[in-house]
Each structure stands twice: as C-alpha cells, then as structure tokens.
Amino acid sequence: MTTPWTTDELRRCVSPLPRVELSHLPTPLEAWPRFAEALGGRVRVLAKRDDLTSTGCGGNKIRKLEFSLAAARAEGCDVIVHGLAGQSNYCRQTAAAAARCGMKCVLVLALDHKTGGVPQGNLLLDHLFGAEVRMVAPAEQAAAKEAVMAELRAQGHKPYLVGHRDEVFGAVGYALCLAEILEQASAMGQRIDAVCVSGRLGTTAGLVLGKRLLGFTGTVQSFHVAPSSSDEALRGPTVKVLNDAAAMLGSGERFTIDDVRNTDAYAGPHYGEPTPQCLEAMLLLGRTEGVVVSPVYTAKGLAGMVDFVRTGRIAAGSTVVFVHTGGLTETFAYNEEVYRAAAGG
C-alpha cells in the first residue's frame, strides 16, 4: 500500500454500512504500570479496555454486533440465531444486543463440562437477557441451528443466522479499534510498538487490516486459545476474513498467510481449559491492577504476551498494547480452577 489512509478516511469508508449504537466509543486506553513493573519494568504496558463496551457486560463482540444487528434490521429479520460453546462470550453479547434492539434471540449452545447444573456465568446471563436457549451435543450443533432456522421460518419469522459475514463485520470494527488506539496513544505522547490480542478471526483480522490501511508500523501479535491442526488451519481463516473485510471497505488490498502473526503455543491441550500460565497471568494482573481477564480467552492471550516480554520477543523499551476483549462473566463458571490458583494450588 503506497498511501496509508487517515483515520478519518477509514471512518468515511465504514460510514455507508448500517450500524446501531451498542457501546460508548472509544473505549479507554489506560496504562498498567504495576503490571509492567511485575514483568521486570522492561516494557510499558497499555490496555485497550474493550471489556468496557457496555452492552451485555461488555466485550469485543459488541463492535461487530453494531453492524450485524443493523444488517439484520435492514434485511427485515426479526430473530437472531447463534450458537457456540455453552459459556460463549459472543453468544452472551448477542443475546444482550438483540434485547437492546427489541429482537428475539435463539441460542443453540454446545453441552460441555461447564454447562451442567444451575446455569452460571455467561449461560446464566443468556437467560437473563431473554434468549431462548437450546443445549445440544457438539456434533449436533450445526444441524440443530439449521433446524431452528427452518422452524422459525415456518412460524412466519425471518431469522438471521450469525456466521462468516459477522466475522467480516468484526474485522471492520477492529480496524476502527486500531484507529482509536493510535489516536489515543498519540494524545498520550506514546508510540506503539506492538499490539497483542487473543483469538483468530474477526478481532485479529481487523487489527491486521487496520495495520495495513493506516500504515501502522508496529507488530500485531495474536494468541489463539485452542490448539490448531496446522499453521494453515490457524492463520488461513483470518486471511479469508481479512480479504473480505478489505473488499467490504472498497479497498483493493489483498492479504496472505504471511500477513498474520498468530500462535497457539499458549492455548493448552483443549479449548475452554485453563492452563497454569494463563492462571498465573490472570492472578498477576488481578493483584497488580485490579483487572480481571478470563481463563478461556483473555488470560491465554495475556500469558502469551507475558512470555513474549520475558523472553525478549517484545523488545525491552517497547510500548505494547494489550487489547482486553472481555470475558469477566465466564470467569464465574471457572470458580474452582481460579480459586485453587488464587489459594496457591
């Protein structure tokens, strides 16, 4: 790309997309000096507090849902259908966003080790926000969502199934998030050297898209929270979202797997299972800054960033931004694991 866009140009390219207001933006960019000191004082750590996006207890999915719910409305849809893990932060935020927009929400969630007994954590909030919750075996989830879509159509509804396009909306939202970060850092007199985040799809893709479009010369490093079967499986889906998001904004930019920096080295053996490193990072942040990261997503990304700092892969003297994508509410479903770690094992 020869001429980077300004942040205003990026916003102008986004402005034709339908959008509803679900958050108070920009979210804060704040310093974590005690956390940085606990890492040896090698780097300056700033946090982009996207756990504070307001609707539904906050989180990164609110940025994409601003576009998704607007698209659903524009297409005449009246029911939002979604389904991921039983303690999904995304589904919890979707239920809240649908409630705020006056739309019905049906969640088809996967049964797992954190969905038994009386609902707690995100699953409890799904019910609080008025979602119709259907629990199914993981292998049956895709077919169950299609069955729900058919059922709703037969009842006279026009349902909206959350899917790939919504990841593209997420990438648009996180290109805008990087614009916020750069503007806020400039106002603080800071030059950003690295941006770190948990995940793989829309949020990661958006930060990489923003890096290219805005001419950001620092590093965007993502930490995936589940093991991948191959490097292509890890980074390939991000590239698909990246290229579709660039096209959505009218940009001719194209991306390859080499544009995406991601690792599953801190994911542990299974999705949804805390690792010793993520629990260590979670406790360190809680006890230095009074901020909670979740043991499924954000704590694994934070653990990766901590190790990158300690091993010099984020160079001494750098200013690094950790994008806090939320997940406080799922922590309560992991009360035993977190308590054991807090109590010393």
Angle between helices 231-248 and 202-214 (to 10 degrees): 60
DSSP 5-71: PPHHHHHHHHTTS-----S-SSPPEEE-HHHHHHTTS-SEEEEEEGGG--GGG--THHHHHHHHHHH
Q: Which amino acid is at 88?
A: S
Cα 25 to Cα 237: distance, rounded to the nearest angstrom:
28
Rg (CA), the chain: 19
For residue 246, give Cα distances in angstroms to 116, 211, 250.
41, 12, 6
CB 314 within 8 A of CB 320: yes
Cα 208 to Cα 261: distance, rounded to the nearest angstrom:
9
Peptide bond into 26 cis (omega under 30): yes
Beta bridge partners of 108: 134
From 188, 170, 185, select the one nearest 217 (Cα to Cα): 185
Q: Which residues are marked as active site?
A: 88
